[in-house]
Each structure stands twice: as structure tokens, then as C-alpha cells.
Amino acid sequence: MKIPIYQIDAFTSDQFRGNPAAVCPLKAWIKDDLMQKIAAENNLSETAFFVKKDNGYELRWFTPEDEVDLCGHATLAAAYVICTYLDENISDITFHTQSGILEVFKNGSLFTLVFPSREGEKCDPPEALVKGLGKAPKEVYLSRDYMAVYETEQDILSLDLNMDELKKLDGLGVIVTAKGNKVDFVSRFFVPKAGINEDPVTGSAHCTLIPYWKKVLNKTDLEALQLSERGGKLYCVDSGETVKISGEAVAYLEGHINI
């Protein structure tokens, strides 16, 4: 069996930046354990698999260790593959996922993801969080992930990280964020329990970041940077129950997996 595979750099227009995701279009679903093995073999933060369904696509995401319920950059990458290689005339894509129906709209080179808002609830900072980040944040919130808020961009660039401590937390990952110097806000994202110490650019984390910064900055349209080594830029809109996350993508690799 040959499975098509594409590697797409998401939330960037330049190769070797943004967040790389593998995308595997399938004619029918294969076994879960095989998808997990493929994701582990790819050793990227996410591998997306999709199957065409009626007027949309069923979509699933796997890290090297687990299936996840929501992933932004791999959704953008899947939409890029569909629009570029499978149906050049399509501009509106509907994905059926564990997190419900997700829509992606293409306008020129920009892809806009419509995702559920996941506003965090303020909480006390767990001991493992403070030890894992090496510096106490000014505020902590919890949704799917913990979100630690710091005063400055430099604060989150200079964290003294301990991934063993972050693995002890009950949330999936840890978002750190601060007001940006040149954009509205900046962030980083760590998911060591899913085999990803630092994710380069994370769409799903912005489901929590966007409603927070909307309230703090009192604006609905926001520009964001994720300050990983590869880096990525996101254009964000808070729409109440949903958030819109826009970015570009560029292809790196086309091929086939031999099973």
C-alpha cells in the first residue's frame, strides 16, 4: 500500500520556518495504531490524516505519541494540500473532527481557520508549573492547557525550563505569553507529555490566547508571534464563541509511504 505524504511548513511563507506538519490523504481510514506508527516515524509535532466525506473531510491529528483533539498548524497544512494538490478550485473547506466541525477559508495565500474559543479560568499556579518554567508568572489560567502570563517578551524568551516538571501537570501543554514589542502578543508552547518539548507554532493554543488578549487589550483583531526558534506569525480575530486564526503555508516535501 502506498500512502501519499506531504510535509508543509505552516504559519509561514518561507521554507524552514513556521511549524512543519505531515499530511496524509487517505481513500479510507486505516487502523489507529498504523496512523500512530506513521506519526512516530515522521517525528514531527503533528501528522494529519484525512478522508473525503460528502462535501467535506474527516480529519484527525497525531503527535509522535498520541492522538490530539485539536491542532491548528496541521489543519492549515491539510487545507493547503487540498487546495494545492487535490482541488485547486476550492476555497472553503469543512473538516469533521473530534472538536466538531472546523472551517477553513482560503483568500489568496492566506488560510483562515475558524476554531472554538477556549477561554481559560484563572487558577493558582501549580508547583510543577513554576518549577518547570523556572520563574513564577504573574497570572495562570487553565483550559485544555495551562497558560502562564508574564510581564515582558524577554521573560518568556529567558525561561529556565524543566520538562520533567512540566510533564507532571494535568493539562495537555503549557502556553507562556506576554505583551509583544512589535505585535499585540507573543507566546511559546510546550507539550513534553506528548513528545514535543517546544512546538514551533501552535494554532490550538491561540484558542485560549485570543480571548485573553482581547480582554486585556480591548480589541478583537490581533497580531501574534510565536517565539520558537523557527517562529511564526498569526493574524487573529475574536468572534465570541469562535476565533479566527490566519496564516500562510509553503510546501517542503511530496512523496509516498510504503506500507
Domain locations in the chain as residue ranges: 2-115+245-258, 121-238
Contacts of 18 (CB under 8 A, 6+ apart): 9, 10, 11, 12, 73, 200, 201, 230, 231, 232, 247, 249, 250
CA distance 21 to 10: 7
Q: Just give the CATH number of 121-238.
A: 3.10.310.10
Q: Just give the CATH number of 2-115+245-258.
A: 3.10.310.10
CB 96 within 8 A of CB 56: yes
| C-alpha distance from residue 10 to each of 15, 83, 217 (Å) | 9, 14, 27
- Model confidence over 170-206: pLDDT tens digits? 989 999 999 999 999 999 999 998 888 999 999 999 9
Q: Would 2-115+245-258 and 121-238 be classified into the same CATH topology?
A: yes
The pTM assigned to this predicted structure is 0.92
How high is the pLDDT of residue 139?
A: 98
Q: Which triple of cell numbers denotes residue 152?
A: 515582558
SS3 217: helix
| C-alpha distance from residue 34 to each of 30, 138, 198 (Å) | 7, 43, 25
Single-letter amino acid code for the residue at 250: V
Give yes or no: 153 in active site.
Answer: no
Taking only the tens of pLDDT, the chain with its 259 residues reads 999 999 999 999 999 999 999 999 999 999 999 999 999 999 999 999 999 998 899 999 999 999 999 999 999 999 999 999 999 999 999 999 999 999 999 999 999 999 999 999 999 999 999 999 999 999 999 999 999 999 999 999 999 999 999 999 998 999 999 999 999 999 999 999 888 899 999 999 999 999 999 999 999 999 999 999 999 999 999 999 999 999 999 999 999 999 9
Catalytic member of 41, 46, 65, 248 = 46
